[in-house]
Amino acid sequence: MLKNVRAMYEQMVIAIVHDLIHNVIRPYVDNVIVKSHELKDHIATLRAFFYCIKKLKPRLNPQKCLFGAASAKLLRFVISDNGI
């Protein structure tokens, strides 16, 4: 059984999107949050994110993908522009 898969995944995401981390992208364990204040900025950020991950071709789970949300539930917490 693979014991460090989540840590390896998080390190892979950090390596792929290192230019966007902490500014517009927040990787956490097996989740990635792409954030922005304006819709046009969000679309540009998503394009940059998808361009970065296209290099390694990881599989994304469509059931976990959520686009254009003002808030989202992550690890039983609700994340929004007002905070956690």
Q: Is residue 24 over pLDDT 80?
A: no
Residue type, 54: K
Query: In terms of residue numbers, what domain contains 45?
Result: 5-80
Verdict on whether the full-model pTM lies above 0.75: no
The pLDDT value given to residue 13:
73
* Distance (Å, whole) CA 54 – CA 58: 8
What is the number of structural domains in the chain?
1
Report the distance separating Cα 67 and Cα 60, nearest Å: 13
Indicate the SS3 state at residue 58.
Answer: coil
| Spatial separation of the C-alpha atoms in residues 77 and 49, rounded to whole Å | 24
Q: What is the pLDDT of residues 33-62, one digit of tens each?
A: 787 878 888 888 888 888 877 877 777 788
Phi, psi of 62 (to 5 degrees): -60, -25
Report residue 71 as tokens: 């808030």
Which residue would you say has higher pLDDT here, 6 or 61? 61
